[in-house]
Structure 1
Amino acid sequence: MIKPKTGLRLVVFTLVAAALVFAGWRLTRPKPPEVEVATIARGPVESTVVNTRAGTVKACRRAKLAPVAGGQIVKMEVKEGERVKAGQPLLELWNRDLAAQRELANRQLATSEERRREACILADNAQRDADRTQQLAAQGFVSPQRAEDARADARSRRASCDALAADVKRAQAQVRVALAGLERTTLTAPFAGIVAKVTGEVGEFTTPSPPGIPTPPAVDLIDDSCLYVSAPMDEVDAPRLQPGQAARITLDALPGKTFPGHVRRLAPYVTEVEKQARTVDVEVDFDAPPRQALLVGYSADVEAIVARHDDALRVPTQAIQQDGTVLVLGKDDRLETRRIKTGLANWAYTEVTDGLAAGDRVLLSFDQEGVKAGVKVTPKAAP
């Protein structure tokens, strides 16, 4: 028979042992894994289209200029990086022969004008003489034949005046021909801009590009007062794009900055490049000229906004699994699988139309081992 004191000691010992075992279990049991969660809230959601490869900043006007005729450069009027005005001479070719032809044409024109003036003076005088002879013939002082001869002489001299006037026009045309020949030897700026590159030096020969044989231009002129971005979009996204849509432009050269813009044009054909996806080139204008000086040729990315909902219930896109479900923190911080219906979406947020409510907390990442539905977790806010 167990004594009362001995029984009490046994109970106490058992309770102490159980408490120690429970404490040891509490201390050694695996802790719930920490996971990043996001709280569902309302905010703007956009459906966007982005370029498949880097786009390029381009100038609205860029001309690779060369003289109409080939020849030796005798004057180089500009340097690379220099700003020029419309009509400003850029370079001049050897043209002494054409200048001499222009001088000859000018002298021939002057001679023709003097001859015309002389003939017209004589014609006016002959007309006045014919008028006086006609009056005398009417009074019987001279014969009718003499009056007729005076009128014929006046008409003849008038015809000579008119013929020489036509000769003056021919001489004027010859002057214009000579001037056109000279203009072919002078390269001028078709618009105001900046000289990007000059190919050739004084004394060298330059020629225009024959058909099918590209040659370096004498002067590469860029109008950098108007810039836009050309970017390739996947052909699958092309039907969703149209001119006038809002867009955002980012530049690798200016990280952290976004420039608003809008779609100005879609290429009317699909570009097919070997070993690359078929794309459609999209041109995007800046809504306002950037304050920073942009260089033509900068790489750029375009995000065209197809649709936007300003006050939508949204979930981070990374929280949605491939099967269209999310893991939600339920009671006692255990994960639950929930299927949702979605609307607009982009890489950052997806609109939720059914399956979640504001305030719900969803799992952001799924790469932790053992994290699945039914597991108790320790939530931590996403950074």
Structure 2
Amino acid sequence: MFRHALSLAVPVSLITLLVACGNSEPVAPPPRPAMVVHPLPAGDAVDTYPGEVRARFESELAFRIGGKISKRLVDAGDRVRKDQPLAELDPEDVKLQLEAARAQVAAAEANLKLVRAERDRYHTLLERQMISRSQFDNVENQYRAGEARVKQIKAEFNVANNQAGYSVLRATQAGVISRRLGEVGQVVAAGQTVFTLAADGEREVLISLPEHAFERFRIGQAVSVELWSQPGKQFPGSIRELSPAADAQSRTFAARVTFADGKVKAELGQSARVSIKADGEVPLSVPMSALSAEKDKPFVWVVDPKSGKVVRTPVLVGAYGQERASVLQGLKEDDWVVAAGVHVLLDGQQVRPVDRDNRPVALAGKE
């Protein structure tokens, strides 16, 4: 009897609990997470090229004379100051040339002293009319030749003296050694590049443009630069230089992109990505997963930044790609579009915006 009464009491208590719950206010479900993205320019209207941060001014440093490198004082990546020694040549040959030039100067000056004394004697004899004028003119010409010889030899000595200084390669300005092409023991010719110096100051991005699309670009064209070290940040810039000839191996044209703000923190050698928009109006695009349709009328879900609710927004769709579709009308660049799970949403539904990594997204204007 006790067991039977207990079995009846339990269902009654459950019914009482359910009735009590039914009298309370309904609990609102929590906001559904929704992955949101901004519309992007259509892929066929924006070209993106990888690049490398370079110095605007790069100097190829070389010795002004040939010789054997005896000392290398810096390496690639080292920061140098103006006139800092970078490398030295074996000075023995230069010293011997300087000594030879100095000896020639001494010989020329001794010869000049001799012909000057000879001219003075002949001048005295000419005044006494003991020699002819032609004899004196001959000695006078020898003296003038001696003077010219001294000037010539002294000039050659100055050249040799300068070359002695050329045996030390110095930095032409402050900067960073970006490349080293010489090593101790290597014999280099005059003018052969030993170092490449990236001067301090403005930075640029070097990119390579394909041959088939080269005519689409021009000097001064606006671009957008994204540094891999600062993902998500777009820095405005422009094309400063276009190479007139293609590279012999890659068949691409080098282009240099300068930042609109010269204070952008870009270090030498950093990777960058340059986006170049096509001329004219650029359509937007959204992921294919963001599109829905009802009665052949496409629409997307746009999140209201103030209320956090989704709004059904009709759009005019253009060309379809493999992953994205062009949107010709209905969206703005700053709209937040739901990119996944659109088939379970309802108009006016509260959502919790997240990005592709499931991190909360702060919508502009949302309190």
Query: What's the TM-score once normalised by structure 1's chain length?
Result: 0.58
Q: Is the 8 A contact 2:67 2:189 kept in 1?
A: no
Counterparts of 1:350 and 1:165 in 2: how far apart (Å)?
Answer: 88
1:205 correspondence with 2:205: no
1:334-375 Cα shifts (integer Å, max 9, x gaps): 979764679xxxx999664xxx599xx99754764589xxxx
- Does the C-alpha gap of structure 1 residues 225 and 125 become closer, same or farther in structure 2, counting only changes over 3 Å? farther
Among 257, 267, 285, the alignment partner of 2:258 is 285
Q: Which of structures 1 and 2 has the larger relative contact order (alpha carbons within 8 angstroms, sep 6+)? A: 1
Counterparts of 1:357 and 1:72 in 2: how far apart (Å)?
Answer: 65
Residue 208 of structure 1 aligns with an amino acid whose one-letter code is V
Which consecutive residues of structure 2, in runs of 5 or more, have no partner in the other structure?
Answer: 1-31, 302-309, 354-362
Matched ranges for 1:3-22 at <5 A? none
- Does the C-alpha gap of structure 1 residues 58 and 39 become closer, same or farther in structure 2, counting only changes over 3 Å? closer
1:123 correspondence with 2:119: yes
Could you say what the CA RMSD is over the residues aligned between the two structures, in angstroms? 5.1
* Structure number, greater radius of gyration: 1
- Does the C-alpha gap of structure 1 residues 272 and 337 become closer, same or farther in structure 2, counting only changes over 3 Å? farther
Corresponding residue of 1:93: 89
Per the alignment, in what secondary structure is the counterpart of residue 234 of structure 2? strand
Per the alignment, in what secondary structure is the counterpart of residue 225 of structure 1? coil
Per the alignment, in what secondary structure is the counterpart of residue 250 of structure 1? strand
Question: How many Å apart are 1:269 and its aligned residue?
Answer: 4.7
1:86-105 Cα shifts (integer Å, max 9, x gaps): 5x432223222431331231
Corresponding residue of 1:327: 299
Corresponding residue of 1:159: 141
Q: Is the 8 A contact 1:66 1:219 kept in 2?
A: no
- Does the C-alpha gap of structure 1 residues 92 and 281 become closer, same or farther in structure 2, counting only changes over 3 Å? closer
Q: Is the 8 A contact 1:45 1:308 kept in 2?
A: no
Q: Is the 8 A contact 1:51 1:233 kept in 2?
A: no
Counterparts of 1:339 and 1:264 in 2: how far apart (Å)?
Answer: 37
Per the alignment, in what secondary structure is the counterpart of residue 172 of structure 1? helix
Among 289, 292, 297, the alignment partner of 2:269 is 297
Query: What's the TM-score once normalised by structure 2's chain length?
Result: 0.60
Per the alignment, in what secondary structure is the counterpart of residue 51 of structure 1? strand
Counterparts of 1:336 and 1:287 in 2: how far apart (Å)?
Answer: 36
Which consecutive residues of structure 1, in runs of 5 or more, have no partner in the other structure?
Answer: 1-32, 134-145
Corresponding residue of 1:229: 205
Question: How many Å apart are 1:155 and its aligned residue?
Answer: 0.7
- Does the C-alpha gap of structure 1 residues 231 and 35 become closer, same or farther in structure 2, counting only changes over 3 Å? same
Question: How many Å apart are 1:161 and its aligned residue?
Answer: 0.7
- Does the C-alpha gap of structure 1 residues 335 and 45 become closer, same or farther in structure 2, counting only changes over 3 Å? closer
Question: How many Å apart are 1:106 and its aligned residue?
Answer: 1.3
Question: How many Å apart are 1:222 and its aligned residue?
Answer: 2.5
Identity across matched positions, percent = 22
